[in-house]
Amino acid sequence: MQSWDRNLLLNTSTCNFCFYLEIVWKELEKENKEFFEAYTKRRAEKASEAETSQKIHEILLDSSKKDTNDDA
């Protein structure tokens, strides 16, 4: 099998897998609505926490740089 044949086969298999995965995921969401609502909420909370931590880190880093420049 040539390289491009393998790549085409892999890409097609990946697309098929993604298609079926999406169908299964949607069915799971229907069957376990409360679980997926909690899951989605927790992911959003984690993203918000990570964003807040990043902002705090940047503020502290900027403050540290200003302190270093003031001492010079």
Please report, for the chain, the start and end positions of each structural domain, with discontinuous segments joined by +.
Answer: 1-31, 33-72
Q: Alpha-carbon distance 52 to 45, whole Å?
A: 10
Longest dimension (CA), the chain: 67
pTM of the model: 0.49
pLDDT in tens, 16-45: 788 888 889 889 999 999 998 999 999 999
Identify the pLDDT of residue 43.
Answer: 92
pLDDT in tens, 1-21: 456 566 655 676 777 788 888
